[in-house]
Chain A
Amino acid sequence: DIQMTQSPSTLSASVGDRVTITCRASQSFSTWLAWYQQKPGKAPKLLIYKASSLESGVPSRFSGSGSGTEFTLTISSLQPDDFATYYCQQYNDYPWTFGQGTKVEIK
Chain B
Amino acid sequence: QVQLQQSGPGLVKPSQTLSLSCAISGDSVSSNSAAWNWIRQSPSRGLEWLGRTYYRSNWYSDYAVSVKSRITINPDTSKNQFSLQLNSVTPEDTAVYYCVRDLGALAFDYWGQGTLVTVSS
Q: Is the CB of A50 within 8 A of B105?
A: yes
Number of interface residues of A (CB under 8 A): 21
Cβ contact of A96, chosen from B49, B66, B106, B109, cutoff 8 A:
B49
Residues of A contacting B62 in the complex (Cβ-Cβ under 8 angstroms):
94
A-B contact pairs, 16 of them (CB 8 A): A32-B105, A42-B114, A43-B98, A44-B111, A46-B107, A49-B106, A49-B107, A49-B109, A94-B62, A94-B64, A95-B66, A96-B49, A97-B49, A98-B46, A98-B47, A98-B48
Q: Kindly state the separation between the CA atoms of A94 and B102 in the bound complex, as whole angstroms.
A: 14
Q: Kindly state the separation between the CA atoms of A100 and B98 in the bound complex, as whole angstroms.
A: 17
Q: Is the CB of B46 within 8 A of A49?
A: no
Chain B residues in contact with chain A, CB under 8 A?
46-49, 62, 64-66, 98, 102, 105-109, 111-114
Q: Is the CB of B47 within 8 A of A89?
A: yes
Q: Is the CB of B111 within 8 A of A34?
A: no
Q: Is the CB of A89 within 8 A of B107?
A: yes
